[in-house]
Amino acid sequence: MSGNGENNPFKIAQQQINDCADILKLNQGTREVLLNPMREFHVSFPVRMDDGTTRVFQGFRVQYNDAKGPTKGGIRFHPDETIDTVRALSAWMTWKCAMLDLPLGGGKGGVICNPKELSPHELERVSRGYIRAIAPFIGPETDIPAPDVYTNPQVMAWMVDEYSSIVGRNQFGVITGKPLPLGGSSGRGDATARGGMYTLREAAKVVGLDLSKATVAIQGYGNAGSYAASLAESMFQSKIVAVCDSRGAVSRKDGISPSKVAEHKQNTSTVLNLEGAENMTPDELLTMDVDVLVLAALENSITERNADQIKAKIIVELANGPTTPEADEILYKKGIHVIPDFLCNAGGVTVSYFEMVQNFYMFYWEEEEIHERLDKRMTRAYHQVIQTSEKLKINMRKAAYAVSVGRVVEAMKLRGWV
Ligand code: GLU
């Protein structure tokens, strides 16, 4: 994450908003509302460590824009977290929710910490401490957090428990991505990857790619990347030829079995040295000659530095902000079909929205019903974006912006803000 220096994600997010405002010919006031977060909270909170000492952690929660409904978005635990990263991510959540026509605005949270260096009890106390610090500003009808980088359903369970004890009653609807026995939704676990696969299926039709014969490289092997590997195999019979995590990459021409990678990573905590595969660097993975490149790591993976070396036909952006605007133009000129992040990875927040609805109604749907509803929304959103891209002759990201920002602006106008 490069919150302050080159490729500052919030500068990029603002540049994207400005480009979109030009396309939509928005007036200055509207542009300014879109360029600024509505509310942000900076908190520091004490945590008792296992050795008896106290450490103070810093966290943020940004509620970017709530014109279309309560703000929604995940919480990241990362040592390099910065306010600008959280601002950018909360802006992208705003466009993401609008993209899928969810009655929600966008928000994001982050805590500066390295979960890999915390014991399970310390992780629990950090999770609870952060929720105590932001509790006055969140709620099922105001701002609803969820998992993101290095947070998971167990962390959500501690958070919902802490919030419930603060308000004095169970409030499952305050957080999504919870475990199933605590009001979680079936289908939430693989929702981000699955939603991305639905858009890949549609993109392959447009590009004329037979996914059953396609080769796939996957950058990042967390929740989104690992599910993407197994779903690309089970849904399309595509061949996964390379995967990587933060420590390195492995490739194998004849294909890598996602279940073997999962087992290997479970035992060694990395994909490196996978039996029968060759080690390589994550940078080499990005420029491999494959049909589909899945970006499921962090921001700024494809920049003007490496964009012209990309050989994939379709880029599936499961991460948030993996491609810079300069790189976007290079890829567009090369004819590479990019499924932009806040369209491609919107499956997670879409099933989070289904989770909220189920929590409100106290009535839970079968997994099949979740998949069907998700497929319908992702497919519709993909076609709205490709049609806009073709009509306005702009790249897929700019088209996604035009659709989403247009919807947010419409809501702001109706409310009398602009
Ligand atoms: N963190 C996920 C995202 O970036 C999901 C957010 C949510 O479910 O609210 O889309």
Q: The CATH number of the domain where 164 resides is what?
A: 3.40.50.10860
Q: Which of 75, 192, 298, 370 to mutate to test the pocket of ligand 1 (most atoms within 8 A of CB)?
A: 192
Q: Report how far ligand 1's centroid is from the alpha carbon of 125 (Å).
A: 22
Provide the residue-wise pLDDT of the chain in tens; the chain has 418 residues.
544 456 899 999 999 999 999 999 999 999 999 999 999 999 999 999 999 999 999 999 999 999 999 999 999 999 999 999 999 999 999 999 999 999 999 999 999 999 999 999 999 999 999 999 999 999 999 999 999 999 999 999 999 999 999 999 999 999 999 999 999 999 999 999 999 999 999 999 999 999 999 999 999 998 899 999 999 999 999 999 999 998 999 999 999 999 999 999 999 999 999 999 999 999 999 999 999 999 999 888 999 999 999 999 999 999 999 999 999 999 999 999 999 999 999 999 999 999 999 999 999 999 999 999 999 999 999 999 999 999 999 999 999 999 999 999 999 999 999 9
Of 339, 363, 388, which marks where a domain is finished?
A: 339
205 and 321 share one domain: yes
Q: Which residues contact 6 (CB under 8 A, 6 or more apart)?
A: none
Q: Which residues contact 258 (CB under 8 A, 6 or more apart)?
A: 226, 229, 230, 233, 240
- For 28, phi then psi, to 5°, come to -60, -40
141 and 213 share one domain: no
**What are the residue ranges of helices labelled H in 191-334?**
191-207, 223-236, 258-268, 282-286, 325-333
- Residue 78's domain comprises 39-181
Of 287, 314, 339, which marks where a domain is finished?
A: 339
Distance between CA atoms of residues 59 and 330, nearest Å: 36
Instruction: Say if residues 188 and 355 touch (Cβ distance below 8 Å).
Output: yes
Q: Which of 75, 93, 99, 378 to mutate to test the pocket of ligand 1 (most atoms within 8 A of CB)?
A: 93
What is the position in ligand 1's atom list of the atom closest to the CA of 345? 10
225 and 283 share one domain: yes
Distance between CA atoms of residues 355 and 347, nearest Å: 12
Q: Whose CA is nearest to atom 9 of ligand 1?
A: 73
Distance between CA atoms of residues 32 and 127, nearest Å: 34
Q: In angstroms, what CA-CA distances link 333 with 17, 77, 291, 396?
A: 21, 36, 17, 12
236 and 151 share one domain: no
What is the position in ligand 1's atom list of the atom closest to the CA of 176? 8
Annotated catalytic sites, by residue?
A: 108
173 and 79 share one domain: yes
Looking up tokens 């401490």 gives 129
198 and 334 share one domain: yes
43 and 165 share one domain: yes
- Domain-located, residue 231: yes
- Domain-located, residue 372: no
> What is the CB < 6 Å shell around ligand 1?
72-74, 96, 146, 148, 176-177, 320, 345, 348-349, 352
Of 163, 181, 199, which marks where a domain is finished?
A: 181
Q: What's this model's pTM, rounded to 2 decimal places?
A: 0.95
Assigned token pair, 67 = 């014109």
Strands 215-219 and 239-245: parallel
175 and 207 share one domain: no
What is the position in ligand 1's atom list of the atom closest to the CA of 346? 10
97 and 156 share one domain: yes
299 and 164 share one domain: no
- Domain-located, residue 404: no
Query: What number of other Cβ atoms are within 10 A of residue 12's Cβ?
Result: 22
- Domain-located, residue 308: yes
What is the position in ligand 1's atom list of the atom closest to the CA of 349? 8
- Domain-located, residue 411: no
Q: Which of 149, 320, 349, 370 to mutate to test the pocket of ligand 1 (most atoms within 8 A of CB)?
A: 349
Q: Report how far ligand 1's centroid is from the alpha carbon of 346 (Å).
A: 7
- Domain-located, residue 161: yes
Structural domain tally of the chain? 2
176 and 215 share one domain: no
Instruction: Say if residues 311 and 288 touch (Cβ distance below 8 Å).
Output: yes
